[in-house]
Chain A
Amino acid sequence: MKILVADDSRVMRQIVIRTLRQAGYDDHDIVEAEDGRDAYEKVRSEGPDLVLSDWNMPNMTGLECLQALRGSGSTVPFGFVTSEGSAEMREKAADAGALFLIAKPFTADTFTEHLEGVLA
């Protein structure tokens, strides 16, 4: 199984990857993307089984990335890991086809709760 972690912060990508390991997903391949455009391209080239993406990123936001993926026919499971978790953003995420939205700060338990069904 392969997980694509998209965040413009290298530090936050490391924290997400560390939390994935703490949640027990330490045997998955991890691919990193540094913004939405990079994530879009790596979904095409790497074929991940799940995308965990920040929302607010330069060049292309996480939401724009998801919309572009769905527009191109990709059905890759996609979840947001973002510093904002308002009802409005959760609705936008769900409407665009996201499976979940994890608000920062998060814990390993939060990851387990959301990823259990996706990476069974």
Chain B
Amino acid sequence: MNYFTEVVLSGLTRGSIYALIALGYTMVYGIIELINFAHGEIYMIGAFTALILASVLTIFGFNTIAILFLAGIIAIVYSSMYGYTMEKVAYKPIRNSQRLSALISAIGMSMFLQNYVRIAQTSDFLPFPRIIPRFPWLSALPVSMSSSQFMIFSSTAVVMVLLTLLIKFTKIGKSMRAASQDKIMAKLLGVNVNKVISLTFIIGSATAALGGILISSYTGQINFYIGFLAGIKAFVAAVLGGIGSIPGAVLGSFVLGLTESFGAGYISSDYEDVFAFIILAVILIVKPAGILGKGQIEKV
């Protein structure tokens, strides 16, 4: 197993997780032009809920597969509920005021949720149970991939495909695209914009929670602060790819993940964040709207 493939695999793993979180950022931005600072917190809450449920189910003596599915699904549902409630409480009432107010509200929400988990649970790192079972057939592959890595790749791929299908071919997807283009016109044509926005938050939160559960079982420990750091990185990825564009967020995430792991693997691990931000600065100078972002033409 050579070093190069290892670095590539680690980069792709990071990229997949960033992509799962960045999707929520970019979808929300695409529809209401809000940088949802509290999005990382949803990811953290997803991981925490899964941890709590998995521990309880283990104590009650469930088997591994049942724990994986029950804890995973309930945690994703709960995170979606948090996302939905957050939008109703903190963003809906200020949808018509200036954009900075919504940003500050999001920052407040982020602080609130972090400290809520810290007080209700703990500020220490908690060991995350190994809820992903071992797949023995993985060792037959030419590259050595851990079962968590395999789960991360496959779930990210499935989520991407499902999301693309949802947005391209369903009625809900159509109304989402309509609302992101022109909210007033969409309303006039009978699209329930409030519902579309709620749905966007629900979908974004669900993918973030999935990311949270997967990365936590990969790294093996969590605390209340993991959401903030991951959220910032995923936000960078979303901007890199062109915020508002879904394929852009995925591409940006992989570019970021690979840059970080190559930088860390071949130059120095102390500077992995520096590489990430250098790439961001270079791409934004060349293409200010991001890799796949469309430049905005202002009309008078």
Instruction: Check if A and B associate.
Output: no
A residues near B (Cβ < 8 Å) are none
